Structure 1
Amino acid sequence: MSNKVLFTDLLAVDNMSDLSTMNGHEVVATDPQHLEPSCTLILILTGKVIMNVFIFGARHRKVSASFLGYCCFALAAVDFALLFAVSAIHFFQDFSIFGVRFTSYHTCLFTQIISHTYGILHLPIFFISGLDYYLTIVKPVKISWIFLHLLYVVVMLLMWITAFTYVLLQSPPKAPEVHSEKTAHICTFYISNQSFYLSATLVLAIVLVIAVCCTQIVSFIKSLKVLSYARNTVVLFSFPPGNQWPIRGRKRLLTALVFSFLGTWGPFVVLQMIIFALCAHIPAYMDMNVPWLYFINSFLIATAFGLKYPDLQMTDQTLSSDPFIGWKYCILPFMDTKQSKDSSLLPAEVTVI
């Protein structure tokens, strides 16, 4: 009997009984593709690794350390390890390392383990990162730089080890089912409900903020100006005459936060809406990715700034927590005069174009 594993079109099926605690379900392969299944998986993983490299290259260089930042690097490392393992198995077909034999069956096994692990990490990463920003932005706790980095590494490692252990002990991936007609193993992939509900909640929260601040959004759009600073394009929103520094009003701050957030992540939000509309089933090994984590990172930072108002006594380190959004120019108008005129926060020269 052939030992080949099929990775093909995905079709949703009912929850597996032994996976009920994982808050998700599995999908099975149905119609075989003309391209060899392992090649398809390698191409998908290669694209994901290239996307990770591109995202890391596009980040701002001067960024404060955060728990989510460490999670992004850990996720990229696991993605690369999975790609390396699948590629090695595809190339050598059947080989042994230290007495352990690896065949095409392990291509399915490794991908299943990674999918289940990714699928249960969405909420833990979200809540731990939220706690991180609460203790560093909303209610800042003074911790030494070395201890903070060590804490991030320890918590991140414990989280990943716990997730892998849970998957292997509580809900181990099943062996591929044997297809009687094609004498091949049919591999199933895990679909995470955590990802769906978390993504739906974030998008709904953004839509609700837009609905609540619709009046401020209209006035902001009417006052839009484009500036050039340090060879970067800066979007400036002027306020009606009579307003003094600092600008007051939680709705105005939320509007500024939404504009800054959507200015970077707007296409990603639209993509999430399209996925919801199409009811697309995305395997967990693809659903958990670096752009998704940075999207959560920006959302949590914006939420922390909203909770911090009106006591916006920020430092340059606090405002540089996001590697993609420059929150500094969004928050400055709402900060007290003495704090906002700090030379480390206020730019020396801005030229209108």
Structure 2
Amino acid sequence: MIISISFILLSLGVKCLLNWVLVFVQRSHICQSFLGVFSVTQAVIDTALTLFVAVIYLQTHGYVILLGFKLTRFHVCLLVQILGQVYSNLHWPVIILAGLDHLCTLTQRLQITVAKARWPVCLFVTSLLWYLTAFYVFLLSDFNPVLEDVPYNQIQQCWVFHTSEILQVIMLLLLSLGSAVLHAGCSTRLLKDQSSNQTTKLSRKSVVYKAIHIFLRTWALFLFVLTVLSLLPVGIPAYLGLNVAWLSFLNSMLIAVLLCAVCPASQLMQGLAAVPPDSFCKWKFKFSLAAEDRT
């Protein structure tokens, strides 16, 4: 798709503002998980890209000299395309690493010493992930930039790749949630509570339904908008596809999937499950034993 540089600058500005607002909202716990640390680095890189585009585009002569290099609007289009490809290739690695991180939190498999060192570990993994993804895009992928054959001072628009990974991720996670619902609906086994009250029973079905209800109560509208945007003929520009709002949505959705899949119902009822931090969904489960008996 072809987009004017002015629109690229405007959309990047809005994206940066949204990124930092969401980072501020989650500031109390954003460094306690891989996805939070990655969100901060995402906001920093988007800000640097926005400033780069703004400085060059707003120059009347169409270029700036930086460290002896002449940077023009060709470099604006090139950098937007490169970062768009990097963002597109980051979706699945981020999903996998965030899922493993949340799984360790929910199952409490991290030792205390490792948990205390989580922030530097997450920062190291995040930095390595950015480096390896950029390395892949530059040296191993079939990425070829598309640039106009016109003088740099006449460039007013850039060719921008669109991303399809968002729709793929949404479909996979929705299928996972749907499978959890079907499994819970077909299952008749009840999980016994391991607390002192041995007569209390809680079905996996209730855990699944409550987790999905909590998730959809917060993100249903966002999910609908993302699906509509992904199905539009023009698609979502790749440089906008990875942002803190999307990462916050993924955080909640991964928690919902993992709660449905691996978290013991007895731990949820006693409040013993260590749920990953989430500023948007309140993962507090209150169960009615009378309702359970009726089911």
When normalised by structure 1's length, the TM-score is: 0.68
Tell me the equivalent position of 2:128. Answer: 158
Matched letter for residue 178 of structure 1: D
- Summarize the Cα distance change of 1:96–1:188 in structure 2 as closer, same or farther, 3 Å threshold: same
Match of 2:291 in 1: none
AA paired with 1:296?
L
1:322 to 273, 278, 285: 278
CA deviations on 1:287-334 (whole Å, 9 max, x unpaired) are 11111111111111122222122352787792352122121x22x549
Q: 1:258 is matched with which residue?
A: 212
2:11 alignment partner in structure 1: 44
Q: Using the TM superposition, give the Cα deviation of residue 84 of structure 1 relative to its aligned residue in structure 2, in angstroms.
A: 0.5
| Residue 145 (structure 2) aligns with | 174
Report the counterpart of residue 91 of structure 1 in structure 2: 58
Cα deviations by residue, 1:67-88 (Å, 9 ceiling, x for unpaired):
0011111111111111010001
Deviation at 1:152, TM superposition (A): 0.6
Q: Map of 1:136-215 to 2, 5 A cutoff?
A: 136-138=105-107, 140-144=109-113, 145-171=115-141, 172-178=143-149, 187-207=158-178, 209=180
Listed as ranges, the matches of 1:28-67 within 5 Å are: 29=2, 37-59=4-26, 61=28, 65-67=32-34
| Deviation digits for residues 223-270 of structure 1 (CA, Å, limit 9, x no counterpart) | xxxxxxxxxxxxxxxxxxxxx995611111111101110111111111
The Cα offsets for residues 70-123 of structure 1, whole Å up to 9 and x where unpaired, read as: 111111111111101000111232121111111111110110111010000000
Q: Contact conserved, 2:63 with 2:73, CA < 8 A, in 1? A: yes
Unaligned runs of 5+ in 1: 1-9, 11-28, 216-243, 335-353
- Give the stretch that moved more between structures: 130-139 or 117-126: 130-139
For 1:183-332, list aligned pairs within 5 A: 187-207=158-178, 209=180, 248-306=202-260, 307-312=262-267, 318-319=274-275, 321-327=277-283, 329-330=284-285
User: RMSD value over aligned CA atoms?
Assistant: 3.1
Structure holding more helix per residue: 2
Q: The residue matched to 1:312 in structure 2 has which SS?
A: helix
Greater Cα offset, 72-81 or 197-206: 197-206
Quote the offset at 1:214 in angstroms. 7.9
The amino acid across from 2:86 in the alignment is T
Cα distance change, pair 47–246 in 1 and its aligned pair in 2 (3 A): farther
Partner SS state of residue 160, structure 2: strand
Q: 1: CA distance between counterparts of 2:48 and 2:27?
A: 26
Q: Which of 1 and 2 has greater Rg?
A: 1
Matched residue, 1:130? 99
Q: Which residue of 2 aligns with 1:105?
A: 74
1:248 counterpart SS class:
strand
Alignment match of 2:42 (pick from 75, 85, 92): 75
CA contact (8 A) 2:106 2:273 kept: no
Percent identity, please: 25
CA distance in 1, matches of 2:184, 2:232: 29
Query: Please, which runs of 5 or more residues in structure 2 have no aligned partner?
Result: 187-197, 289-295
Whole-Å Cα distance in 2 between the matches of residues 46 and 264 of structure 1? 26
Which amino acid in the other structure matches residue 279 of structure 2?
Answer: P
Show CA shifts across 1:106-151 (max 9, x none).
1101101110100000000000111111222125221424422221
CA distance in structure 2 between the partners assigned to 1:91 and 1:160 by the alignment? 29
Moved more, 115-124 or 72-81: 72-81
* Distance (whole Å) between structure 1 residues aligned to residue 182 and residue 272 of structure 2: 31
**1:63: Cα distance to partner?**
6.2
> In the superposition, relative to structure 1, how do residues 177 and 186 fare at CA in structure 2: closer, same or farther (>3 Å)?
farther
The letter for the 1-side match of 2:15 is: K
**Using the alignment, how far apart are the partners of 1:201 and 1:67 within structure 2?**
21
* 271-280 vs 310-319, which moves further: 310-319
User: Residues 177 and 135 from structure 1, CA distance in 2 versus in 1: closer, same or farther, beyond 3 angstroms?
Assistant: same
Separation of aligned partners in 2, 1:274 and 1:245: 47
| 1:118 counterpart residue number | 87
Q: Give 3-state SS (helix, strand or coil) of 1:318's partner.
A: coil
